[in-house]
Structure 1
């Protein structure tokens, strides 16, 4: 049975294949980015089908979205916490989406029950709104 860190690594590695990434979640598993709510963006998906659709929507906007510079800071059988980054072009623009995420994963019986990620919402807003980045 996979540990929480193994599940988080597998998710980060599979993000380019939404169905594969979503299959790591329990039937009622949740992917949550609560701070996106402040930007009026979708911020929660529950269940593998909704999670796959959420990831696919992101990939339409940022086709080369891949996690890099992965560091795990907490590693227990049922919980993991890590930091990871993305730097990729936004489709149809000359802008770059550059972001560092912090993710807390909770696992049960070899599946992800919760992955809650935080990010710099100002950087996200600037990248997607076209505002200058400083």
Structure 2
């Protein structure tokens, strides 16, 4: 059985460095919630493989020398659910700026694949690295 803990390790190992292999980790009906992403003008919820791959493909293409580190996983009493805290850093290619971030992810596994991800991150750090406006602050 592929546990949430094992899939989280693989997720952070492959997401940028071997994105093609990473695609095998996700369910066709994956739901990826990003509650703070609307502050950057991005969707708060991605539904299905096509939406997820479109969005994460943009991110993977925009970073270089990207590294996840200090991974801490809190397994649940249910082996198909877990929480991860991880730090990341890399360079945003279009701006040349350093991007450093702290992430928290809640995940659920179904049929051996990532079926649900809720990801929290600091949108201000992302906006500064991307040299992007923060639409939420303009209102």
Where in structure 2 are there 5+ consecutive unaligned residues? 134-139
Residue 31 (structure 1) shift: 2.2
Q: How many residues align?
A: 131
The Cα offsets for residues 37-88 of structure 1, whole Å up to 9 and x where unpaired, read as 1221244333334323322210221123332111012343111101011111
What's the TM-score, normalizing by structure 1? Answer: 0.85
* C-alpha distance in 2 between matches for 1:117 and 1:3: 18
Give the TM-score taking structure 2 as reference length: 0.82
Preserved CA contact (<8 Å) 1:65 1:86: yes
CA RMSD of aligned residues (A): 2.0
With over 3 angstroms needed to count, the CA separation of the structure-2 counterparts of 1:86 and 1:14, relative to structure 1, is same
1:1-134 alignment to 2 at 5 Å?
1-16=1-16, 17-75=18-76, 76-129=78-131
Unaligned runs of 5+ in 1: none
